[in-house]
Structure 1
Amino acid sequence: MTPPLETSSPRASVNETQKSQTSSVFHRSMDEDFLKIISADGIYLNLENGQRILDATGGPAVACLGHNNPSVKAAMVAQINSTAYCHSMFFTTEATEQLCDKLIRGTGGQMSKAFIASSGSEAIEAAIKMARQYFVELEGPNTKRQDFISRKPGFHGTTIGALSLGGHPLRRKLFEPLLGKYVSHVSPCYEYRGLEDGESQDGYVKRLAQELDDEFRRLGPGTVCAFAAETVVGSALGCVSPLPGYFAAMKRVCDKHGALLILDEVMCGMGRCGYLHAWQSPDVNVVPDIQTIGKGLGGGYAPISAMLIGKKIVDVVSSGSGAFNHGHTYQAHPVACAAALAVQNVIEDEGLVGRVRALGAILGAGLKSQLSKRWYVGDVRGVGLFWAIEFVKNKQTREPFNVSQQIGFRIHKVGISVPYSILLYPGGGYADGSTSDHILVAPPYTCSVNDIQYIVTTVGRVLDDFFNRSDSPKEFE
């Protein structure tokens, strides 16, 4: 993902810019000469120039099975040969029915229905509208519930509703006049930067719960539809897990004020964190009222996402209007559903969620051992196969680098260059009202122990090259 405008890459050379201008594609950056992939298999991307890149992030934590999985491809071809498209306003398909049934069973029956969309942003838009419709049907058309609370600097998508719900200042800035004023933001559970000196974890959680309760009170009784948060924060902060008891405390505040809890697991869900759903982790152990899933759902084989809905919401809508006032042309697309069903079958049949926990322990231990003492590494954190390295200018004060230095994106550029040829995912978090830098490492669930060890070693080499090169030390003073 190309960084926001304020952190876009440096201007390319004239020749590079002219070359990119010959493409009819409106790429994410008009300054980049995009590398062309001609094939992909397993954990590798094969480029037109002959380079072979190790995909250590699955894109943005998407390709959970790696590339070119034969079972998924066969399922997609079979579905195309059967029914390539149907309109969900009138019809359903066996692939859709089986996928939704599997998704609900994967929650242990804690969720009731699944709504299939095509992207994480679409799933979030559906969740916002579902929460509002629930209260209209429950309390009547004159209900005062129209507000939402989410967290700084949460990222929930790029469509206007999803961007409104998110709290990332750099992503919001350009579109601020267009964003909904019905969302307010509270602090994240971000131990590395949020825990105060001498404060216990329990004390920190209580303080955050009080902050949320205070925001409910500020907005007024009976006005908030839901509190929304990423169960494990992805690209906005870099694989930040909640402290034990955090979401239980947040859920108690929501229940106290009659509001819903929306958990966004578009990036961190579907096995990525070592549990099929991140909220099933013992450190979370809280069932949301609405949940969104996406990237690991289809593993990149087709555009697909989903909203999972709790029983109390389904019951209210079922006994009221009997219909969700929302829909998309490509909703529950048969080929996408067939692809996602095949991906989830592979994950289940091969026991990959447990494998993620085992490999994640190796990956985390390796990254911490290799990197924690480096002067520029502030924190190494993560869970399952979802890890991040946060960079700091001063290890003691945790001072971040200036946003203009584009540390994360430049590290990514070094990583994909020869001799390293490794894809690392850059991100910008939130520190002191501005931004911090990190990279994500999120390899496929199917990678080997040798792959993990090679990734750890290569990440260390990339970072040493970037921070210790002879022509750059003054930049980091």
Structure 2
Amino acid sequence: MCADHVFPRHSRVDPPVVVSGDGPWLFDANGKKYLDGCGGAAVSCLGHSAKPVLDAVKLQLDKIAYAHTSFFTSEPAERLADKLVEYAPDNMERVYFVSGGSEATESAIKLARQYFLEIGQPQRRHIIARKQSYHGNTLGALSAGGNMWRKAQFEPLMVPSMVHIDACHYWRFAEPGESEFDYGQRVANQLEEMILKLGEDSVAAFIAEPIVGATMGAVLPAEGYYDRIQEICHKYGVLLIMDEVMVGCGRTGTFFASDHYNIKPDMICIAKGIAAGIQPLAAMICSGEIYAAIKEGSGFFQHGHTYLAHPAACAAGLAVIEEIESKQLLVRVNELGAKLEAGLHKAFGQHPHVGDIRGKGLFWGLELVKDRQTKVPFEPSLNIARRAKKIAFTEGLMIYPMGGTIDGKSGDHILLAPPFIYEDEHVHLLIERLTTTLERVFEEQAAA
């Protein structure tokens, strides 16, 4: 339909042209329809025809589309910040609006460093994160991430002051006979061990996803894990950053996924669902204490992006929250999530190649294995996750699969993050098409 000058994600993949959307459906130029089972990348929480949000953006465009934040603030930004602070833990007071998840986590990392400079602790330079985490693709965020496959070719550019402890994944990594609580404490205690190794006054922050998203597939923390993490952070004066880029904004049934575990972080990063994909928007929310250190110190956060607090994007974010509230979508997420959970367990609970089913709300992962009993993964060369995505797409279903679930190389999972506006029929159809997809994947594998 046009000259081929777009730089695609993958040069050997020729995707169809999308032309329209309606609720949980997307339509390509050939008229084929696809059920969105993953929100793209857990983004399109309101589906693809959220008229109130679209109207709010159009109305804002008629007023003012863009004004640089070195000159102006805007009504949508101020109102959205107020609304996010209402939902955030009590200590959260300020919101820094950016355009995507990588920018949000980059902002948090840099603010952590500047905070300690402002309060006279310049020796605090280390950021601790976890293996198999993902925090974004800018160099600082990528350095914080713990997925080695994503980082390997950029290793010479990685920030050396960022280090990693083990991920928390009880089903996959617990020792034989180890209780979930004991496992969680053992893994959490690695944070204290790393702090002492680096120097107890040299660590600025610990960053983690409350529920691990893309790189492990909706992995929940072990019982008591975050209670211990918070104890350690408080003991050593380490800031706690929660990366809720994928799981925030209602995805797991509470506005912030941290709420499930009584986490009181110093900073929270959100993106994806905050503007439902209708505008690029993300945010870093910080405590009043952190903001006061900047305000009463230099007065200037030495960081910034051109599209900070973009008025049209903030108008979209405000309208998304209004939709969530007016339509009681958090309640709906929990109701649909329970039905999706039951359906997944009924369809795949005894499947020989589905080792684990985990998640919350409308955020679910299925870990695919060669042997269910031993948890042995498929060989990475088989590209099970990639094949599942391709076959599902031919079946008219969008899913979010990933390889390297275990260590960046081995392991496969499928991530499901459907729009909040699903009806029961869509849940049933998702499971039906996913069942057909996995049947085809494993039939092809057996025949190979």
TM-score (norm 2): 0.98
Which ranges of structure 2 fall in alignment gaps of 5 or more residues? none
State the distance in 2 between where 1:263 and 1:392 align.
Answer: 30
1:460 aligns with 2:435: yes
Secondary structure at the aligned position of 2:300 is classed as coil
1:84 aligns with 2:65: yes
1:253 aligns with 2:228: no
**Cα shift readout 1:292-313 (whole Å, capped 9, x = no counterpart):** 0001101100000000001211
Q: For the aligned residues, what is the CA RMSD?
A: 1.4
TM-score (norm 1): 0.92
346, 350, 369: which one aligns with 1:369: 346
Residue in structure 2 matched with residue 129 of structure 1 by the alignment: 110
1:401 aligns with 2:378: yes
Residue in structure 1 matched with residue 150 of structure 2 by the alignment: 171
Preserved CA contact (<8 Å) 2:216 2:406: no
State the distance in 2 between where 1:432 and 1:412 align.
Answer: 20
1:327 aligns with 2:308: no
1:305 aligns with 2:282: yes
How far the C-alpha of 1:110 sits from its partner, in A, is: 3.4
243, 253, 267: which one aligns with 1:290: 267
Match of 2:91, as an amino acid? Q
Secondary structure at the aligned position of 1:54 is classed as strand
Instruction: Report sequence identity in percent.
Output: 42
Residue in structure 2 matched with residue 14 of structure 1 by the alignment: none
State the distance in 1 between where 2:35 and 2:60 align.
Answer: 30
How far the C-alpha of 1:348 sits from its partner, in A, is: 1.1
Match of 1:187, as an amino acid? D
1:48 aligns with 2:23: no
Runs of 4+ in 1 over 4 A off after TM superposition: none
Match of 2:10, as an amino acid? S
Preserved CA contact (<8 Å) 2:185 2:224: no
Preserved CA contact (<8 Å) 1:164 1:179: yes
Preserved CA contact (<8 Å) 1:235 1:428: no
Q: How many residues align?
A: 448
How far the C-alpha of 1:243 sits from its partner, in A, is: 2.0
State the distance in 2 between where 1:192 and 1:433 align.
Answer: 17
How far the C-alpha of 1:474 sits from its partner, in A, is: 5.0
Secondary structure at the aligned position of 2:164 is classed as strand
Secondary structure at the aligned position of 2:352 is classed as coil
Match of 2:293, as an amino acid? V
Superposed counterparts of 1:9-408, under 5 Å: 23-107=4-88, 109-140=90-121, 143-281=122-260, 284-408=261-385
Preserved CA contact (<8 Å) 2:183 2:222: no
**Relative to structure 1, is the Cα distance of residues 433 and 100 closer, same or farther in structure 2, using a 3 angstrom cutoff?**
closer
State the distance in 2 between where 1:205 and 1:390 align.
Answer: 20
State the distance in 2 between where 1:107 and 1:354 align.
Answer: 18
Secondary structure at the aligned position of 2:366 is classed as strand
State the distance in 1 between where 2:412 and 2:213 align.
Answer: 13
1:414 aligns with 2:391: yes
State the distance in 1 between where 2:408 and 2:430 align.
Answer: 32
Match of 1:290, as an amino acid? M
How far the C-alpha of 1:103 sits from its partner, in A, is: 0.5
**Cα shift readout 1:344-377 (whole Å, capped 9, x = no counterpart):** 1101111101111111011011101101211111
Preserved CA contact (<8 Å) 1:238 1:429: no
**Relative to structure 1, is the Cα distance of residues 440 and 432 closer, same or farther in structure 2, using a 3 angstrom cutoff?**
closer
Which ranges of structure 1 fall in alignment gaps of 5 or more residues? 1-18
Q: Which stretch of the first structure deviates more once superposed, 366-375 or 259-268?
A: 366-375
